[in-house]
Amino acid sequence: MMNMTSHASITKHSAMNTGKKMKTAIIAITKNGINIAEKIRAGVGGDVYVNSRFLNEANFKNYFPIKTSFKDFVRQIFSSYDGLIFITAAGIATRAIAPVICDKRTDPAVVVVDEQGRFSISLLSGHLGGANELASKVAQVLKCMPVITTASDIQGFESIDVLAKKLGLYIDNFSDLPKVSACLVNGEKLALSVEKGFPYEKLAHLIKRSEVFSHDLPKDAKAAVFVTDEEILPPPVPYVILRPQNTVLGIGTRKGAPYEALLAQVKMALKDFNLSEKSVGCIASVDIKREEKCILQLSECLNAPLKLYTGVQLAEYENRFPCSPFVKKTVGAGCVARPAAYMASRGGDELGYYTSKGITLAVYKRRTS
């Protein structure tokens, strides 16, 4: 049976790559550093933290004080921001963040600017956290030199993790990513398998540096990348799977339906179509189910956002599917799971429909664009 466990804790995405405004802390410990911090705040935005003894000065009253030891201060704010910009020596910033660094998928972007504002250095979470892009933005504001040291950027091509974020792909088997990336950077043979229907042009940089295969893994391949929403047999080389978030689950339930029953139905459906749980990009239902416990639990388990529609919205598409007078009277539409999944998948293809124990489940595949 599939191990349906939550992966929410390891899929934090940088705000810089999702269109959301990046929440940034700018940290300065000297007077000149504060002047640089103000330039960065004006150009990039963010909260400015300064040594508390400078707060009484007229120009610094709107800043936040650093009241504790520097390491304690950094520990307290580290996970509260998408990005941290230190106007300090690189060594000071490195020692301060060292005790709280956790995982490149969740750590914030860390950028260091020297006290004279000559260099903007991407120090931590260059790709997934967005530090490379943040360092470049800071450099533009200060008109200084950005320092980017990630190998793919130096060689002038897009890394696998940057590509995945850009295309909204979940990186599965993440532990092998360093080995697969090393293969790419070192010019060794990287095998690439892409599911049918995925737009190849989106993968142009990766295809250029890989050998595309459809059936058997090339014998001399040193690593492999799969772009698919399906479960695969692990190859004998390091590999990652880039999962399109194109599976949509439309759900209708009676009030108080047990989570265990819903979970079992979802497991069965995904197994029927050999789909990975990590390809589920959305759960869709009617808005009166916004507090339904089993749906909320499933959303958390799969780390898939809820898309809720009103009965009026669902009714626009109910004529496509069998309807129930009782459901129509209750929610304003004759059915829920199918029209909700149809709308959330942007008119995608229905793979399967299930009904059992007061639960309806429609599995749709969103059209890839």
Report the predicted TM-score, pTM, of the whole model to 2 decimal places: 0.69
Distances (CA, A) of 257 to 261, 266, 328: 8, 14, 19
pLDDT at 357: 84
Strand partners, 171: 242
- Long-range CB contacts (within 8 A, 24+) of 178-185: 179/223, 179/238, 180/223, 180/224, 180/225, 180/238, 180/239, 180/240, 181/151, 181/152, 183/222, 183/223, 183/238, 184/152, 184/159, 184/160, 184/209, 184/210, 184/223, 185/151, 185/152, 185/155
Beta strands per DSSP E along 96-163? 109-113, 119-124, 145-147
Locus of tokens 């043979």: 189
**What's the burial of 346, exposed, middle or buried (CB within 10 Å: 0-12/13-18/19+)?**
exposed
The architecture of the domain spanning 10-149 is 3-Layer(aba) Sandwich (3.40)
- The rounded average pLDDT for each run of 10 residues, N- to C-terminus, in the chain (369 residues) is 43 43 89 90 92 70 84 92 92 91 83 91 77 88 84 60 86 90 85 89 82 86 93 93 95 93 96 96 94 95 94 92 88 92 95 93 84
pLDDT at 162: 81
CATH topology of domain 247-365: Nucleotidyltransferase; domain 5 (3.30.420)
Token pair of 1 as six digits: 């049976």
Domain segments of the chain as ranges? 10-149, 157-244, 247-365
Cβ atoms 192, 235 nearer than 8 A: no
d(CA 145, CA 355): 60
Q: Which CATH topology does 157-244 take?
A: 3.40.1390
- Token code pair at residue 90: 């690189």
Same fold, 10-149 and 157-244: no
Residue among 134, 181, 175, 136 at smallest CA distance from 158:
181
| Distance (Å, whole) CA 300 – CA 7 | 9
Distances (CA, A) of 264 to 1, 138, 271, 359: 10, 49, 11, 11
Phi, then psi, of 297 in degrees rounded to 5: -65, -40
The dihedrals phi and psi of 164, each to the nearest 5 degrees, come to -60, -45
Instruction: Decide: helix, strand or coil at residue 185.
Output: helix
- What's the CA gap between 207 and 184, in Å, rounded? 11
Q: Name, in order, each residue with C-beta under 8 angstroms of 207's C-beta and a sequence gap of 6 or more.
A: 192, 200
β-strand pairing of 359-365 with 247-253 = antiparallel
